Amino acid sequence: MSKLIISLSLFAVVIACAGKEPNKYAAAPDGEAIFKKYCVLCHGVDGKLGLNGSKDLSISKVTEAERIVQITKGKNTMTPFEGILSPQEIKAVAAYSMTLTKK
């Protein structure tokens, strides 16, 4: 009898876990969340703030590949994010920044 209860409760645990969202930390980094945390200071939520001489991202012509380099290495007063963000996070935030640019 007790064996049956144990296997039933194990079964319940397996079912409960199977229904959960995929592990947050295993998922791809959230570019929007990173932008809101690290970039809005100078660029603003919509990319147009232009603080500290930062460029208006809504009209930027810079490609995604160039953004990755610039976010990693910085430029003039823009902070280099190498060491602050992982390469995957930089890629995600560069991709997100592209969505702020009007096509």
Q: What is the largest CA-CA distance in the chain?
A: 73
Interaxial angle between packed helices 64-73 and 87-98, expressed in degrees from 0 to 180 and rounded to the nearest 10: 130
Decide if residue 43 touches ligand HEC (CB under 6 A).
yes
Question: Hey, which residues between 53 and 82 contact ligand HEC (CB under 6 A)?
Answer: 53-55, 57, 60, 62, 67, 70-71, 75-79, 81
Backbone angles phi, psi at 2, to 5 degrees: -60, -35
Q: Which residues of the chain form contacts with ligand HEC (CB under 6 A)?
A: 35, 38-39, 41-43, 52-55, 57, 60, 62, 67, 70-71, 75-79, 81, 93, 97
